[in-house]
Amino acid sequence: MNAVDDKTIVREYFNSTGFDRWKRIYGDGQVNKVQLDIRQGHQQTVDRVIDWLKADGNLQGLSICDAGCGVGSLSIPLAQAGAIVYGSDISQKMVHEAYQRASAVLTPNNHVNFAAQDLESLSGRYHTVICLDVLIHYPQEKAADMISHLASMAEDRLILSFAPKTLALSVLKKIGELFPGPSKTTRAYQHREADIVRILEQNGFTIGRQTMTSTRFYYSRLLEAIRR
Ligand code: SAM
C-alpha cells in the first residue's frame, strides 16, 4: 500500500466509522473496557502536554498549531489556558465536532480556530507545533515527510507522539492481526524512536522533555523537540 492510499483510507475512516468510534473514545459517555482504557491513556498524553506547556509559564498568547486535532481534546484546554490555537484535521467531521465542543465551553476571550485540512498542506509559523497520535496512521517514509513539514512550521518547538516500535508491541500487533474482526480499523504503524529522533535532528531540533504512556491497550511515546 502506498502513502497516497494510506491517506485516502485514513480520511474516509475518520469521516465514517472512525469518527463514531473516536468521538466516543474522546468523550465522557459510556464505552467498553478497551475503549475506556484507550480514553484514559490518551488523556494522560494530553495532560502531560498541558503540564509541560503550563510549566514554562508563557502559555498566554503563545501561538500553537495542533495538527490532526481530532475532536479538540488538546486544542480546547490550550485555548482555555490562554494560547492562540490553530487546530486542523484531515476529517471534516472531526473538525466539526471540535468546533461544537469548543463552542460549548469557550468564551470570546479564548482564541481557537479550526479547519479541515491535512497537515501536509498546512503553512504558516507557530511558536509550537503539536501532533498527537497521528503518525500511527502512516508508514515510516510518509511519517518522515510529515515530520519535516511540521518542523518547517515550528519556530521554537515541535511536540510529537507515536506508537514506539518495540519487540513486545510488535508481538501484540501480530497477535491482533491474526484475529481480524469488525473492530478492525485502519492499519496501525509503529515507529522506531531512533528514526523519529534522527528526522527531528536533521531538521535542526534537539530532544527536550520526553515521556511514555502505556496502559493495557494504549501506547504512546511523547517527545518535545526544541529548535537548536
Ligand atoms: N490529535 C488528536 C488527539 O490526540 O486527540 C486526534 C488523534 S486521532 C487518533 C488521529 C487524528 O488524526 C484523526 O482525527 C485523523 O482524522 C487525523 N489525521 C490523520 N491523518 C491526518 C493528516 N494527514 N492530516 C491531518 N490530520 C490527520
Q: At residue 39, what is the residue type? A: R
Q: Is 125 helix (H, G, I), strand (E, B) or coil?
A: coil
Q: In what order do the strands lie in the sheet with 63-67?
A: 111-116, 84-89, 63-67, 126-131, 154-162, 219-227, 205-214
The alpha carbon of 186 and the centre of ligand 1 are apart by a number of angstroms equal to: 12
Residues whose CB is less than 8 angstroms from the CB of residue 61 and which lie 6 or more positions away in sequence, other chains included: 82, 83, 84
Coil, helix or strand for 128? strand
The cell numbers describing 210, all together, are: 520526553
Closest CA to 150 of 88, 62, 96: 88
Report percent pLDDT > 70 for the chain. 90
Helices (H) and strands (E) in the chain, counts: 8, 7
pTM of the model: 0.94
| 26 three-class SS | coil
Q: Round to whole Å and give the CA distance between 139 and 3.
A: 7
pLDDT tens digits, one per residue of 122-152: 999 999 999 999 999 999 999 999 999 999 9
Is ipTM > 0.85 here?
A: yes
User: Using one digit for the tens of pLDDT, what is the confidence trace for 155-212?
Assistant: 999 999 999 998 665 655 655 555 454 444 678 999 999 999 999 999 999 999 999 9
**Percent of residues, the chain, with pLDDT higher than 90:** 88
Residue 5, pLDDT score = 79
Residue 175 pLDDT: 55
Rounded distance, CA 67 to CA 164, Å? Answer: 19
Give me the pLDDT at residue 1, please.
Answer: 52
Q: Is it the case that residue 24 has pLDDT exceeding 60?
A: yes
Nearest residue (by CA) to ligand 1, atom 9, is 133
CA 32–ligand 1 middle distance (angstroms): 22
Q: From the CA of 146, give the closest atom in ligand 1.
A: 23
- Model pLDDT, residue 183: 46
Q: Please identify, by atom number, the ligand 1 atom nearest to the C-alpha of residue 118.
A: 24
Ligand 1 centroid to Cα of residue 143, in Å, is 13
Cell numbers for 64, please give them. 500553537
Q: What is the pLDDT of residues 50-84, one digit of tens each?
A: 999 999 999 999 999 999 999 999 999 999 999 99
Take atom 23 of ligand 1 and give the residue whose Cα is closest. 118
